[in-house]
């Protein structure tokens, strides 16, 4: 048995509740050693991971890791929100009784860290001193060193965040046990994995993975699921899968802040890292606050809606990241950034990494190149020739400080006032480039009926459209009707209302499949139009589903797009939308206590569509 007390004493971890918690789980998991971690331990842990072969060098100050080949994405089927109150059951939160899941997970974890080190990772999912910091403190226990290294990049990590809590018991208990990855039956009927948030006990128990949101418990499990539950239970805030950006207008000196939800792998990181297009760069600058999570609340002093990014780093999709699409991301993972790449292709001889879309063609000289599973590319059979080199959900992990367009005030406790909230998904038809919505209930209604094609970030079928309410479907913590009402309450309480909008960068030509809108940097253009609309500088064109820009209003200087494509992304296909309204009604009917305001919005849009002449 480890002498946990002496380890905690040495680390200066004095919070008595944290000490109790660490001792309990050290006992359950049977870990051979306990080690308390701070961000300052990063260099040493990197060295240890290199020596153990858990990390491989990928050039100067860059690292590479491979996860087990059946452990490459979040598993939504195995992810559960458990509470002691059946009323918390929603359609998407996979609710189960806490009384069933806690013992089950405890048994899975019993003795499962034998021979391993249990790392104690005290963290804060907020800028220090932020109004929501009381809900943002946690302690992850993990038996995987690479998980610790990811946590140090993705969260503020250190004992100082835990010692002086007003209520010493007010931290999230987040236990991660990897398990025997080769014998967990991933994706079979005998699947052993469970990823459980016991939300009303603020306890997270994840067993059976060492990848991404399954294992870095500050990020999705606390930052989204637990955060959302706490925000609702306290009636104080929202925790959303949102990016958060600032737009600075150098001509007027004004600053705007936009946050918004796109489902996984639908462009949040890319939007947050956006450089203004060349033609607009002299006037506008986009700054990065967050790319995956935002917590929103009404600031008591000003009465305005505020937002902040609880994270400290970026866990970004590698695929299609290149100099043209996202030069900012490439700088964020350059030499000396201490980035960790996971599941991309790797060349141990040259220490290079590569992924699909990094360059138009893969490296011509195959010498040394290994695919994401570690198999030599040169040894591929003709049948294997078309398999990707990198996993489609391969990622890079880097701290916010490495992001060239990081906002100057990203670490300030205040957060930023929110001017606009946007929703968008990968939708190949129907959804125009942008449609603005000036009414809170219609905005929330729009978010609740957000649809997107399934992505690689979660296990599931590719290319199938599914509804993803508020881009939060995999992270819903409580009932959707309660969620909608809470959202209406929080945003509705703000003195100045944000403008809502639905955006779509992914509409395709039905014939040849090309994207109708160039996307990436050019996405700034519809956002500028949205801000102008809010300021009353443009009028747009009212349609039943919102206000669309006219061609003339959209700044298209330097954009390459055909007249036909432009026409298409700025119009509404009435028949297709009417069909959609039927699907939406079916979708909303699943949720028993959806607020009447949402149904009213639905009926209003439906009736307007029926009357619409185009
Ligand atoms: P998660 O981290 O999973 O939540 O994803 P995300 O929403 O941050 O998505 P990300 O920005 O990483 O983009 C996912 C994929 O979409 C990447 O392969 C991008 O290259 C691609 N993508 C992003 N923006 C655009 C765009 O405007 N147009 C097109 N065609 N592709 C885009
Ligand atoms: C997502 O899937 O939306 C992510 C990646 O942000 S993970 O942290 O693995 O959930
Ligand atoms: Mn995400």
Beta carbons of 193 and 207 less than 8 angstroms apart:
yes
Beta carbons of 104 and 98 less than 8 angstroms apart:
no
H or E element: which one contains 543? strand 541-543
Protein residue whose Cα sits closest to atom 8 of ligand 2: 213
**Residues 243, 259: Cα–Cα separation, whole Å:** 5
Query: For ligand 2, what atom is nearest to the CA of residue 74?
Result: 9
Q: What is the per-residue pLDDT across 100-149, written as a single tens digit (0 to 9) for each?
A: 999 999 999 999 999 999 999 999 999 999 999 999 999 999 999 999 99
Residues paired with residue 315 on neighbouring β-strands, in sequence order: 397
Protein residue whose Cα sits closest to atom 3 of ligand 2: 264
Least confident span in 212-221, 572-581, 598-607: 572-581
* CB 212 less than 6 A from any atom of ligand 2: yes
Q: What is the per-residue pLDDT across 419-466, written as a single tens digit (0 to 9) for each?
A: 999 999 888 889 999 999 999 999 999 999 998 776 666 665 554 568
Tell me if residue 298 falls in helix, strand or coil.
Answer: strand
- Which of 407, 220, 265, 412 minimizes the C-alpha distance to 328? 407
H or E element: which one contains 36? strand 33-36
Query: For ligand 2, what atom is nearest to the CA of residue 292?
Result: 6
Tokens found for residue 111: 């003795």
Beta carbons of 566 and 591 less than 8 angstroms apart:
no
**Residue 428 Cα, ligand 2 centroid: separation in angstroms?**
22
Average pLDDT over residues 532-555: 97
**Residue 206 Cα, ligand 2 centroid: separation in angstroms?**
15
Beta carbons of 500 and 437 less than 8 angstroms apart:
yes
- Which of 172, 190, 90 minimizes the C-alpha distance to 125? 172
Protein residue whose Cα sits closest to atom 29 of ligand 1: 519
Protein residue whose Cα sits closest to atom 24 of ligand 1: 267
H or E element: which one contains 331? helix 327-332
pLDDT at residue 222, as a whole number: 98
Beta carbons of 71 and 60 less than 8 angstroms apart:
no
Q: What is the per-residue pLDDT across 260-285, written as a single tens digit (0 to 9) for each?
A: 999 988 999 999 999 999 999 999 99
pLDDT at residue 101, as a whole number: 98
**Residues 518, 267: Cα–Cα separation, whole Å:** 13
Q: What is the per-residue pLDDT across 495-516, written as a single tens digit (0 to 9) for each?
A: 999 999 999 999 999 999 999 9
**Residue 238 Cα, ligand 2 centroid: separation in angstroms?**
18
Ligand nearest the Cα of residue 73 is 2
DSSP state letter for 217: T
* CB 292 less than 6 A from any atom of ligand 2: yes
Query: For ligand 1, what atom is nearest to the CA of residue 291?
Result: 8
pLDDT at residue 164, as a whole number: 83
Q: What is the per-residue pLDDT across 199-218, written as a single tens digit (0 to 9) for each?
A: 999 999 999 999 999 999 99
* CB 457 less than 6 A from any atom of ligand 2: yes
pLDDT at residue 232, as a whole number: 98
**Residue 391 Cα, ligand 1 centroid: separation in angstroms?**
15
Q: What is the per-residue pLDDT across 78-97, written as a single tens digit (0 to 9) for each?
A: 999 999 999 999 999 999 99
Which percentage of the chain shows pLDDT scores above 70?
A: 98
DSSP for 99-113, written as a single string: HHHHHHHHHHHTTTT
**Residue 470 Cα, ligand 3 centroid: separation in angstroms?**
12
Ligand nearest the Cα of residue 243 is 1
Least confident span in 279-293, 449-463, 468-482: 449-463
Q: Is 379 exposed, middle or buried (0-12, 13-18, 19+ CB in 10 A)?
A: exposed
Query: For ligand 1, what atom is nearest to the CA of residue 325?
Result: 20
- A 10 A CB-CB count for 155 gives 30
Q: Which residue has the tokens 């296909």?
A: 573
HEC states along 358-415? CCCCCCCCCCCCECCCCCEHHHCCHHHCCCCCCCCCCEEEEEHHHCCCECCCCCCCCC
**Residues 213, 204: Cα–Cα separation, whole Å:** 12
**Residue 220 Cα, ligand 2 centroid: separation in angstroms?**
7
Predicted confidence band of residue 157 (pLDDT cuts 50, 70, 90): very high
Beta carbons of 174 and 139 less than 8 angstroms apart:
yes
pLDDT at residue 140, as a whole number: 98
Tokens found for residue 36: 């308390």
Ligand nearest the Cα of residue 221 is 2
């Amino acid at each position: 048995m480890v002498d946990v007390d002496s380890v905690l004493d040495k680390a200066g971890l004095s919070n008595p509740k944290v000490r109790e918690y660490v001792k309990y789980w050290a006992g359950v998991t049977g870990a051979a050693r306990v080690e308390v971690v701070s961000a300052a331990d990063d260099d040493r842990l990197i060295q240890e991971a290199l020596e153990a072969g858990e990390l491989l060098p990928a050039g100067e100050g860059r690292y590479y890791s491979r996860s087990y080949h059946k452990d490459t994405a979040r598993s939504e089927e195995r992810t559960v929100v458990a509470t002691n109150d059946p009323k918390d059951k929603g359609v998407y939160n996979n609710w189960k009784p806490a009384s069933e899941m806690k013992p089950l997970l405890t048994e899975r974890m019993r003795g499962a860290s034998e021979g391993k080190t249990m790392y104690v990772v005290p963290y804060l999912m907020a800028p220090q001193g932020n109004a929501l910091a009381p809900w943002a403190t946690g302690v992850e226990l993990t038996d995987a060193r690479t998980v610790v290294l990811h946590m140090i990049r993705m969260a503020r990590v250190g004992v100082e965040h835990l010692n002086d809590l007003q209520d010493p018991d007010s931290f999230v208990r987040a236990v991660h046990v990897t398990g025997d990855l080769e014998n967990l039956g991933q994706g079979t009927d005998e699947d052993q994995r469970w990823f459980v948030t016991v939300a009303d006990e603020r306890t997270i128990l994840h067993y059976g993975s060492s990848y991404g949101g399954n294992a870095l418990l500050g990020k999705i499990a606390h930052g989204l699921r637990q955060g959302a539950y706490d925000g609702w239970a306290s009636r104080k805030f929202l925790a959303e899968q949102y990016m958060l950006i600032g737009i600075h207008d150098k001509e007027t000196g004004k600053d705007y802040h936009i946050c918004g939800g796109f489902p996984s792998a639908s462009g949040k990181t890319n939007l947050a890292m956006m450089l203004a297009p060349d033609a607009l760069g002299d006037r506008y600058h986009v700054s990065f606050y967050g790319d995956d999570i935002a917590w929103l609340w009404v600031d008591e002093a000003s009465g305005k809606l505020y937002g902040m990014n609880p994270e400290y780093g970026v866990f970004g999709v590698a695929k299609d990241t290149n100099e043209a699409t996202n030069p900012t991301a490439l700088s964020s993972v350059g030499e000396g950034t201490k980035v960790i790449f996971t599941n991309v292709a790797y060349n141990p001889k040259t220490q290079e990494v590569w992924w699909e879309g990094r360059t138009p063609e893969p490296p011509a000289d195959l010498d040394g190149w290994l695919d994401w599973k570690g198999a030599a590319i040169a040894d591929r059979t003709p049948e294997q020739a078309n398999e990707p080199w990198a996993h489609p959900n391969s990622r890079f992990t880097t701290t916010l400080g490495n992001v060239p367009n990081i906002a100057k005030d990203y670490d300030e406790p205040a957060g930023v006032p929110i001017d606009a909230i946007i929703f968008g998904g990968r939708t190949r038809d129907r959804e125009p480039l942008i449609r603005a919505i000036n009414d809170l209930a219609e905005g929330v209604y729009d978010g609740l009926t957000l649809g997107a094609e399934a992505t690689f970030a979660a296990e599931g079928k590719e290319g199938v459209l599914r509804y993803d309410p508020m881009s939060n479907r995999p992270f819903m913590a409580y009932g959707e009707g309660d969620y909608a009402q809470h959202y209406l309450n929080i945003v509705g309480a703000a003195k100045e209302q944000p403008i809502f909008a639905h955006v779509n960068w992914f509409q395709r030509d039905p014939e040849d499949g090309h994207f109708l809108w160039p996307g990436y940097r050019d996405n700034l253009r519809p956002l500028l139009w949205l801000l102008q609309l809010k300021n009353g500088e443009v009028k747009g064109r009212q349609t039943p589903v919102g206000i669309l820009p006219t061609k003339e209003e959209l700044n298209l200087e330097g954009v390459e797009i055909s007249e036909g494509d432009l026409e298409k992304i700025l119009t509404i296909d009435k028949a297709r939308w009417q069909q959609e309204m039927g699907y939406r009604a079916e979708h909303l009917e699943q949720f028993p206590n959806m607020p009447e305001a949402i149904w009213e919005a639905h009926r209003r849009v439906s009736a307007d569509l029926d009357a619409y002449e185009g």
